[in-house]
Structure formats: C-alpha cells, structure tokens
Amino acid sequence: MNLFTPIRIFILLLAAWVVSACGDQKLTPLEEGDTILAFGDSLTFGKGTTQDLAYPAVLQELSGYTVINAGVSGETTSQGLLRLPELLDKHQPAMVVLFEGGNDILRNLPAANTKANLSSMIQLIKSAGSQLILVGIPEKSLFSSSAPWYAELAKQFDVPLQDSIVSRLLKNPAMKSDSVHFNSKGYREVAESIFTLLDDSGAF
C-alpha cells in the first residue's frame, strides 16, 4: 500500500494543477432557494429608472433567483463597509454582487482607502460563508477600464471580476439617464453582463 502513496500524491497534485489551470475564479453552483445580495450605491439602487427596471430586478428575472436590491445612492465604500455586516446577517446570501466605489472616485477620495474598504468588504462576505463577484468602476479621468485596484483585489481574493461593462456604458449616451447613471437599457446590460459572468464562473 505504501508503494502507491507517492503516486497517489502525484495524481492529487496534478489534478489540483489541472483544476487551477482550466479557468479562473470558479464559483460553486447556487442551489434552489438561494439568495443573491446586490450590494452597492446608486448604480445598484437604479437611479435613473424605476426599481423594477434596476439591474437587481433584471438579474432576478434572468437568473430565477431572489435578488435583493441593497443599493444606497451616494454611498461611499467607508459607509458601505459599516452597512454590510447587518445585511449579511439578515439575508445570509449565497452570492453577493459587490458593486461599489464610484462615489469614492467622484469625490476624489484616496484610492488606498477605497481599496482597503473593498478588501474589508470582501473578507466580511467570505467570512459570512457567501460567494461574491466584483464589478469594477473606472477612474473618472480615464473612463477606459475599471480602476486598477479592482483587478488587484480580484486576483488577491480569487473572485470573478466584471471590469468593462460600466466603462463601456458610460461612453454611450443612449444607455445613460445622466452623466453617471444609466437608463433602463443600460441597467439591463449591466444585469446581462453580471448574469453572464455568474454563468461562466459556474454559479448557474
């Protein structure tokens, strides 16, 4: 029996390498009755459209899972960090969509603080036993791709990242209700992009 132990160890290590090489940031499939918590600011709340057309409502329609709209307009990451624990405890979501940081960027708050707050949120979510995906927001001077700390956090914590949808929609006036918020068409595209990321990552 002992003669086979090194072979078994090698096989296990090889299998682990294959799994890690087959795709990035894979999620565990959601189960029937699971809840998704959409956490963020006005882009989650749905400013610029009605609640039934905000992205959480559309994501619920697309996925078939209950999606809780936990968006608060004007919220910064420091405020969100204080608000998050109670929501995690109350709803015990299987999945969290973390979509925050835009107000920090608009108010020129220190990037290091924003990253630290998001990092703390990710750790809280994971500690609560929830999975998550991260949605990146562009720096206002660039509007080309999400701010670099989103990719850094996604890599650090091994979570899926949607890093292009916000910057792409912000460049398209037909998808916006004002300079920084979307209309119903824009929010539907946000929901579709999040649904696709969840699906591709194995949540559905």
Could you read off the pLDDT of 93-127 as tens digits, one per residue? Answer: 999 999 999 999 999 999 999 999 999 999 999 99
Taking residue 119's Cβ as centre, other Cβ atoms within 10 Å add up to 17
- Sequence-distant (6+) residues with CB within 8 A of 191 are 55, 56, 58, 59, 61, 62
87: pLDDT strictly greater than 90: yes
Q: What is the Cβ-side half-sphere exposure of residue 137, based on CA atoms within 13 angstroms?
A: 23
Judge whether 192 lies within some domain: yes
Judge whether 122 lies within some domain: yes
Judge whether 2 lies within some domain: no
Domain that holds residue 167: 31-200
Amino acid found at 81: L
Q: How far is CA 189 from the centre of its chain?
A: 15
Rounded-to-integer distance, Cα 190 and Cα 167, Å = 11
Judge whether 173 lies within some domain: yes
Torsional sign, CA 154, 192, 130, 84:
positive
* Domain CATH for 47: 3.40.50.1110
202: pLDDT strictly greater than 90: yes
Specify the 3-state DSSP secondary structure of 93.
Answer: coil
List the single range of 23-27, 37-41, 68-72, 143-147 with lowest mean pLDDT. 23-27
Counted domains in the chain: 1
Judge whether 77 lies within some domain: yes
- Stretch 77-101: mean pLDDT: 98
Active-site residues, by number, are: 42, 178, 181
Angle formed at CA 140 by CA 139 and CA 146, multiple of 5 degrees: 30
pLDDT in tens, 172-181: 999 999 999 9
- Per the CB < 8 A criterion, the answer to whether 138 and 167 are in contact is yes
Rounded-to-integer distance, Cα 44 and Cα 28, Å = 24
161: pLDDT strictly greater than 80: yes
Judge whether 25 lies within some domain: no
- Stretch 52-65: mean pLDDT: 98
Judge whether 116 lies within some domain: yes
Judge whether 186 lies within some domain: yes
Average confidence score pLDDT of the chain: 89
pLDDT at 63: 98
Instruction: Using CA atoms of 185, 187, 191, 192 in order, give the dihedral in degrees to the nearest 10.
Output: 30
Specify the 3-state DSSP secondary structure of 28.
Answer: coil
**Strand ordering across the sheet containing 131-135:** 66-71, 35-40, 95-99, 131-135, 161-162
pLDDT at 145: 79
pLDDT at 142: 55
Rounded-to-integer distance, Cα 145 and Cα 164, Å = 6
18: pLDDT strictly greater than 50: no
